[in-house]
Amino acid sequence: MNKYENMDWENWKPEEKGVVVYVSDKKNNKLLLMIKKTGLGAGKVNAPGGRLEKGESFYEAVIRECQEEVYVNPIKPEKRAELHFQFVSGYALYGEAFFTDEWEGEIKESDEADPFWCDMDKIPWE
């Protein structure tokens, strides 16, 4: 049996906190995704996001991470989900997921991410 199989979520405490933001282009039925270049999940497809910096709110982290990773400024992102990640290594991460269909700027590759607009019906789940 895995030591996390019967997790005591009521007393669970994450080591870090983070965010993920899903930016959609409803008019063209697309979602902003990226190939992550560094850190947790490197080499995989994800949405912009990352860990909170000291003293930063979840909302502030959404704006900063989106600007740093894909050079887009999300407008009025809304919190839609809370995420609890417990890795078998012992690392624990609490995250909040935000969604918006309004943004400013054009996507651009950064040191952290290679962004792309993906058709909603062609999301690479694998």
- Which CATH number fits the domain 15-122, given the four candidates 3.90.79.10, 3.30.530.20, 3.30.230.70, 3.40.47.10? 3.90.79.10
Taking only the tens place, the pLDDT of each residue in 63-118 is: 999 999 999 999 999 999 999 999 888 899 999 999 999 999 999 999 999 999 99
Strand pairing of 73-74 and 78-86?
A: unpaired
Q: Which residue is listed with tokens 């409803």?
A: 26
Share of the chain above pLDDT 90, in %: 83
pLDDT at 1: 53
Strand pairing of 49-51 and 45-46?
A: unpaired
Q: What is the mean pLDDT of residues 3-26?
A: 89
Domains of the chain by residue range: 15-122
